[in-house]
Structure 1
Amino acid sequence: MSENSAVGQFKTQSDIMDPARGAALLTVLGQDGNIRAGDALPPFFHQAYFWDVQAQDDLGRDGHPGLGGFIPNLDLPRRMWAGGRIEFKRPLIAGMPAEKRVTIENITRKTGRSGPLGFVTLRHEIWQGEALCVTERQDLVYRNDPTERDAQIDPPPAPDGHIVDRVNFGPTQLFRYSALTFNGHRIHYDLDYCRKVEGYAGLVVHGPLLAQHLILMCQAKLGALSSFDFRATAPLLDFETAQMGWKDGKAWIKGPDERLCMTARATS
């Protein structure tokens, strides 16, 4: 399928929204409480649902579904989640069947400081019954294997503001989050792959996992959220402590060297 013809293509997935999976995610995030059938799921917990289970032979070198399936092959082997925009229209209910429709909204190519880049925007609409509950746009970026030039690109510095919390991760938590979200990307659990293929010094903390911590922090500040936008700017590694900041409605995560790893804005 060509890139132009892929835009507008869609697929649907369904899920029973098992309360036990939401409760397990609470535990992995270090949150108190439990989730039972009929409870409202916390915002962004839909990441633990709608698994895309594919045969082992259909996976790419990175453990994700192979390039050239639903998303066309852009001939750029590395892929990562660059950011997203989420509208929370009504809470998803645990134990109530739901359907997700995924649409390829846009595919573009650009040239950045590290070389050619491919950008794919996916629109996710999640329904329960006749109600649209969540609309999420995911921005995915595809790029070439790392070069010496990549190491010369400095990430942006984090802004000044109040540090609300510090979060530590580690291989076990990354593995558990990968398992709950059925994310097979090897950058989150295969240290040899991280170092030898993708050029990272350690395991990479999931972008959605960082976003989830920011969403819960913003909810504590603002109450129920109506929207959340985020953008990843630099990887955070498993051995680093994340510092979560807040100022005037903006939230961010920075690494121990003050580099900005993720920036976000939420509205209630």
Structure 2
Amino acid sequence: MTQDQEFHTSHDILDPARIAALAATLSLPDATPRPFWHQIYFWDAQSPKSLGRDGHPATGGLIPDLGLPRRMWAGGRLRFHATPTLGTQATKTTTLLRADRKTGRTGPLGLVTLRHEVSQDGQLLVSEEQDLIYRAADAPKGTPPPAPDDQTTRKTHIFTPTELFRYSALTFNGHRIHYDRDYATGVEGYGGLVVHGPLLAQYVMLMAEDLLGAVRRFDFRATAPLMDGEEATFCARPEGDGLTLWARAADGRQCLTATAA
């Protein structure tokens, strides 16, 4: 599929109450916009009949139906250009860059890349490329890579079902793997509730912001799911003018890797 074939534009008032709710969910000291703030706005609210079996909006609109039901956020590349003004309207434009079906080591894969641009009063605030992967219902689990252990900074966190539910509510994300344990374990075969890819990335971004003072660029790739109740260790080490970061599970598997500057 060629680039820039389809796009969608939405508008939202940047309600300060949502930023305050996100800050409370993440135990942040103040209610100011932090990296990835735009995830809690521009909801794609659809009726139940427009949802797939997993509770997420069904494909067939902006994202074509590739015949693969299992959806995962694989990573992304973000650039932060300006700070939003809360209480006023912003615009998000989403463009489909690619949607391809291929065969990988674990069977058929759908590879989708979206470009998101968030602007306010004609000024670009955030630009993002989001990578999604779609897999067959019976796709086998891959072998997660081992995480390095050469960090210079580390923090730990255990995600609870309450935190996952609150983040799902803030982002209007109905994907059942994040709150429906029976579905996550019995249908999709996970070991528990799955921590949202962007929530995992959010914690890594917050670490980068604490170390750098501000984040202008953040690129990340999800490499293995993390479950509720597992201890996550967020790690960083200096790399050039920025940081290399990653999230490590208690058994040593790498769940996410990132760079920031």
Does TM-score exceed 0.5, indicating one fold? yes
Structure 1 residues 120-199: aligned runs within 5 Å: 120-147=112-139, 150-151=140-141, 153-162=142-151, 163-199=153-189
Q: What percentage of aligned pairs have identical amino acids?
A: 54
Q: 1:264 aligns with which of 235, 239, 258?
A: 258
CA displacement, residues 192-241 of structure 1 (integer Å, 9 cap, x when unaligned): 11112111010000000000001110011111111100000000000101
2:84 partner SS: coil
Report what 1:254 is aligned to.
248
Report what 1:211 is aligned to.
201
1:10 partner SS: strand
Q: 1:8 aligns with which of 5, 11, 31?
A: 5
Shift >6 Å, 4+ stretches = none
Q: 2:235 aligns with which of 232, 245, 267?
A: 245
Structure 1 residues 25-174: aligned runs within 5 Å: 25-35=22-32, 41-147=33-139, 150-151=140-141, 153-162=142-151, 163-174=153-164
Consecutive unaligned residues of structure 1, counting only runs of 5 or more, are 36-40
1:93 partner SS: coil
- The residue type equivalent to 1:196 in the other structure is G
- The residue type equivalent to 2:245 in the other structure is A
In structure 1, what is the Cα distance between the partners aligned to 2:75 and 2:102?
A: 17
CA displacement, residues 95-118 of structure 1 (integer Å, 9 cap, x when unaligned): 121000000011222222210101
CA displacement, residues 8-27 of structure 1 (integer Å, 9 cap, x when unaligned): 20010101000000110011
Compute the RMSD of aligned alpha carbons: 1.3
Deviation at 1:255, TM superposition (A): 0.4
Contact kept in structure 2, 1:42 and 1:91, CA below 8 Å: no
In structure 2, what is the Cα distance between the partners aligned to 1:190 and 1:74?
A: 25
Deviation at 1:7, TM superposition (A): 4.7
Contact kept in structure 2, 1:7 and 1:107, CA below 8 Å: no
Deviation at 1:145, TM superposition (A): 1.5
Consecutive unaligned residues of structure 2, counting only runs of 5 or more, are none
2:94 partner SS: strand
1:235 aligns with 2:235: no
Contact kept in structure 2, 1:43 and 1:91, CA below 8 Å: no
Over 3 Å counting, the alpha-carbon distance change for 1:86 and 1:6 in structure 2 is closer
1:119 partner SS: strand
Deviation at 1:130, TM superposition (A): 1.2
Deviation at 1:59, TM superposition (A): 0.6
Report what 1:38 is aligned to.
none
In structure 2, what is the Cα distance between the partners aligned to 1:118 and 1:199?
A: 19
Deviation at 1:5, TM superposition (A): 7.2
Q: How many residue pairs align between the two structures?
A: 256
Deviation at 1:71, TM superposition (A): 0.8
In structure 1, what is the Cα distance between the partners aligned to 2:77 and 2:161?
A: 28
Contact kept in structure 1, 2:176 and 2:183, CA below 8 Å: yes
Contact kept in structure 1, 2:63 and 2:99, CA below 8 Å: no
2:42 partner SS: coil
1:118 partner SS: strand
Q: Which moved more, 1:180-189 or 1:105-114?
A: 105-114
Contact kept in structure 2, 1:168 and 1:241, CA below 8 Å: yes
Q: 1:18 aligns with which of 9, 15, 19?
A: 15
2:205 partner SS: helix
